[in-house]
Amino acid sequence: MPALRCLKLRDNEITVINETIFQSLPALTYLDLENNPFTCDCSNAGFIQWVKSNNKTLVVNGHQYTCSFPAAEQGSKLLDFDIQSCWIDLSFLCFISSSCITLVTLLTSFIYHFLKWQIAYTFHLFLAFVYESRRRKKGAPHHYDAFISYNIHDEAWIYRDMLPVLEGEQGWKLCLHHRDFQPGKPIIENITDAIYGSRKTICVITRRYLQSEWCSREIQMAR
């Protein structure tokens, strides 16, 4: 109805008005909706916004329209209803929140399952860096001449051929796993203390050494 200028719908049972209907009434200049049982919720948010922002159409006594539904809003003014809360989609926020929580949970589980040793290793590397920085500032001497990094399968060769020469003939003080690691202390901390408490690190590299996860960490930390 593009030519309609005056629309009177007072004393009806209108509860909700879709603001899009006014797009088909471009010539409307007078609107009377008094004495209708309006609902004050987000279903009328568009209409409330239209009444407040429209400068072309006179809404007769629009500021006097009262709410009949819901019971909590009964008697209050329609235009006083806070429409800002209607622009927040609670279901969408719940979806985003639950998705983020699920994603974080999956990511944490993945990291813990596949990367926990790498994280622990990086953490102890950082601690070792701090430890070394403090040691340098204090000028503290090393406890050992060298830390021996080896695979357990090469232990017999270490005792038979290496120790007699380095400790017996050269008089070096060596740090060995079974002899000098502190009991009950996490292995990665013992390795850190051994490397940074020694002037040098001697790596006995064999095929089994290269296949060992702990030995690879020792040589990386020493490097």
**Strand, helix or coil for residue 101:** helix
Same domain, 62 and 102: no
Domain with residue 16: its CATH number is 3.80.10.10
| 170 in the same domain as 199 | yes
- Residues 129-135, mean pLDDT to the nearest whole number: 73
Last residue within a domain, chosen from 87, 102, 125 = 87
Q: What angle do CA 71, 74, 80 make, to 5 degrees?
A: 125
- Into how many domains does the chain fold? 2
What integer is the mean pLDDT of 15-38? 92
Q: How confident is the model at residue 204 (pLDDT cuts 50, 70, 90)?
A: very high
Percent of the residues in the chain that have a pLDDT greater than 90, as a whole number: 45
pLDDT at 3: 93
- Domain end, chosen from 46, 71, 87, is at 87
pLDDT for 138 equals 63
Whether residue 124 has pLDDT greater than 80: no
How confident is the model at residue 140, as a pLDDT? 59
Q: How many CB atoms lie within 10 A of CB 4?
A: 13
Rounded to an integer, the average pLDDT of 16-37 is: 92
Domain boundary among 87, 122, 144: 87
pLDDT of residue 195: 86
For residues 141 and 201, membership in a common domain is answered with yes
Q: What is the signed CA dihedral for 189, 195, 197, 200, rounded to 10 degrees? A: 170
Q: Which domain holds residue 10?
A: 6-87
Average pLDDT over residues 16-21: 89
* Dist. CA 199–CA 201, nearest whole Å: 7
Q: What is the mean pLDDT of residues 184-190?
A: 86
Q: Check whether 5 has a pLDDT greater than 90.
A: yes
Q: Is residue 83 part of a domain?
A: yes
One domain, residues 185 and 208: yes
| pLDDT score of 76 | 92
Structure confidence by residue, pLDDT tens digits, 54-73: 889 999 999 999 999 998 88
Regarding whether 212 and 116 lie in a shared domain, the answer is yes
Quick one: 100 and 50 in the same domain?
no
Q: Is residue 120 part of a domain?
A: yes
In a domain, 1, yes or no: no
Measuring CA to CA, which residue among 196, 75, 76 is closest to residue 131?
Answer: 196
More confident position, 14 or 177 = 14
The percent of residues in the chain predicted with pLDDT above 70, rounded, is: 95
Alpha-carbon distances, residue 138 vs 125, 131, 134 (angstroms): 20, 11, 6
Using CA atoms, how far apart are residues 36 and 179, in angstroms rounded to an integer?
Answer: 92
pLDDT digits 0-9 by tens, 136-186: 666 557 789 999 999 989 999 999 999 999 999 989 999 998 888 988 888
Residues 157 and 79 in one domain: no
Q: How confident is the model at residue 220 (pLDDT cuts 50, 70, 90)?
A: confident
Same domain (yes/no): 110, 179: yes
Q: What is the mean pLDDT of residues 33-51?
A: 92
Asked whether residue 103 falls in the same domain as residue 202, the answer is yes
CATH number of the domain bearing residue 138: 3.40.50.10140
Residues 116 and 129 in one domain: yes
Residues 86-115: tens digit of each pLDDT: 876 677 788 888 999 999 999 988 888 888
pLDDT value at position 197? 86
